[in-house]
Structure 1
Amino acid sequence: MKSKAYHAFEQKISYFDDDVDLIDVLRDGILKGELNDPDSKYLIKNIDGSKHKHLSRRSNSDGSRELVINHLRTTLYSGYIKDVYEEVTHYLRMILIKSAENGFDSARIVGEHTCKLDAAKILSSGSWQGVSELVANSIFQSLESEQSTLKLIKKISDKLALNVDSTLINNALPYLEIRHFLIHADGRLTQDFINKNKKIKHKDRYVKLELELIKKLRLSVSALIKEFDSKVVSCNLLKEEDLQP
């Protein structure tokens, strides 16, 4: 068995993987000249000058094609990292909410986090499920506000008494933290991060967005969330309706 939250996570990652494969196929086709039109002034086939005003300014040359497709690949890889991070946090949020709905130790879930809720919101939630979601969301937001991926993952594990393997957390953590640098520093890493994570390649402190990085991110994060879900299921934290084969 697995949680429906984990199934949703797997599905989303699968779509992201399709994107990675697609850009690889497109790049190969472009670099091999399969989309070239030697009789056109445009970069590749099917460009409509009146419609594709930005691409139409690019010259019909191998150098221009390589520049454009490499930029698209870099953009996609950057988006992949950001999207995977969002799916990880969404999974953790859903597991916390669903565990609270199932009556897991409320004192443990709340822990050291104070939770101030508007009375009107509590009354309008309409059910125990609604109240549980309200409280769990408030706690999760409190965890996120600490702005530490490591603390977020470890505290969710601790709150739910999962004892997730710290090695799996440490393996995935550097790849998840790259998202912060992409959003706030255009991918420029701090020297402290570089010193602690020798396996993350960079050039002039800017992270190298390449397929090897994406594959390592995918492998380490998937292993971590699979372990999370295995613990969640084995500890009977969820209702039957929140599980599936």
Structure 2
Amino acid sequence: MKTKSSVRFFARAAHLDVDIELADVIMISIKQGMLNTEDHEYIFDKVDIEKHPRLAERKISHTSRRHAAEHLKATLCEAFIKNIYEDTTQYFQEIIDAAAKNGLDPQRLIGEHQTNFKANEVLQAGGWDKVVSMVAESVFRKLLNERDTKKLLEKINIKLKLDVSSTTIDNALPYFEIRHLLVHNDGKADKKFCDAFPDFCTSIGKKIKLDAKLIQDARTAISALIEEFDQQIVSKSIVASNQLQP
């Protein structure tokens, strides 16, 4: 069995994989000259000046086509790292919510993340499950606001009384931190990142290269993280049976 949240996570991840694969197919097609003929007036045969004015301005050359293809793939690789992080946080938010509704000890759920609601907010929630969801979401947001992905994962591990390996968490961390660099530092490695993950950093201030190996490694490490959390969540009955599927 697995949680419905993990099924949704891996379905979303599969869509990201397809995007990367499609970009690769387009790049191969461009390099083999399958999208352009010698006598066409634009960079690619199907360019329409009304619909594609920026492409219509591009120089007609093999180098220009290659650069366009490489930029497309790089953009999708960057989107992959950003989106898989968002999908991971979505998974954990759903699990915290489901665990709270399944009777997770309130002291464990809240811990040091005390939260308060106004009476009208509680009354407007529309039922006890909605109130529980409000509390669970508030706790999760407080965890996110600490801006420390390692602590986020470790605290979820503790709150749910799981025994997820620290190695599994550490293996996924560099890719989450690369996402932070992409969002906040234009993808450039800073000293903190280089000190923490020297294998991923060639020099401070240089952009992290999002090549095929890094993307595959990220997919493998983050998938292993979700799988290990999910296996223990299921085996320890952290969420209700209606949140599971074969």
Q: Which residue of 1 aligns with 2:223?
A: 222
- What one-letter code is carried by the residue in structure 2 that aligns with 1:238? V
Contact 2:187 2:208 (C-alpha < 8 Å) held by counterparts: yes
Number of aligned pairs?
Answer: 245
Aligned Cα root-mean-square deviation (Å): 1.1
Greater CA drift, 196-205 or 63-72: 196-205
Residue identity in the other structure for 1:241: N
% identity of equivalent residues: 39
Structure 1 CA distance for aligned equivalents of residues 201 and 150 of structure 2 = 21
| Correspondence list, 1:226-241, <5 A | 226-241=227-242
Residue 174 (structure 1) aligns with: 174
Question: Equivalences for 1:8-87 in 2 at 5 Å?
Answer: 8-87=8-87
- In 1, Cα distance between equivalents of 2:28 and 2:126: 55
Distance in 2 between residues matched to 1:120 and 1:174, nearest whole Å: 42
- Contact conserved, 1:30 with 1:65, CA < 8 A, in 2? yes
Alignment correspondent of 1:135: 135
> Residue 242 of structure 1 corresponds to which residue in structure 2?
243
Counterparts of 1:85 and 1:76, CA distance in 2: 14
Residues 65-88 of structure 1, C-alpha deviation per residue, up to 9 Å, x if partnerless? Answer: 011111111111110000000000
Gaps of 5+ in 1: none
Which residue pairs with 1:165 in the alignment? 165
Partner of 1:102: 102
Give yes or no for contact 2:172–2:225 (8 Å, CA) kept in 1.
yes
Letter in 2 for 1:154: E
8 Å CA contact retained: 1:191, 1:205:
no
Which runs of 5 or more structure 2 residues have no equivalent in the other structure? none
Query: Please, which moves more after superposition, 195-204 or 217-226?
Result: 195-204
CA distance in structure 2 between the aligned counterparts of 1:233 and 1:150, rounded to whole angstroms: 22
Moved runs in structure 1, 4+ residues, more than 4 A?
Answer: 201-204
- Which whole-Å CA distance do the structure 2 matches of 1:217 and 1:27 have between them? 22
Q: Distance in 1 between matches of 2:77 and 2:118?
A: 41
Residues 174-223 of structure 1 show CA distances to partners (whole Å, capped at 9, x for unaligned) of 11111111011100111231233133255652100111110010000000
**Normalising to structure 2: TM-score of the pair?**
0.97
Distance apart, 1:240 and its partner CA:
1.4
Query: Separation in 1 of the partners of 2:124 and 2:223?
Result: 37
Deviations 1:112-160 (A, max 9, x none): 1111112112112222211110000000111111011111111111111
For 2:192 and 2:151, locate their aligned partners in 1 and report how far apart those are by CA, in whole Å. Answer: 18
For residues 92 and 58 of structure 2, the distance between their equivalents in structure 1, rounded to whole angstroms, comes to: 44
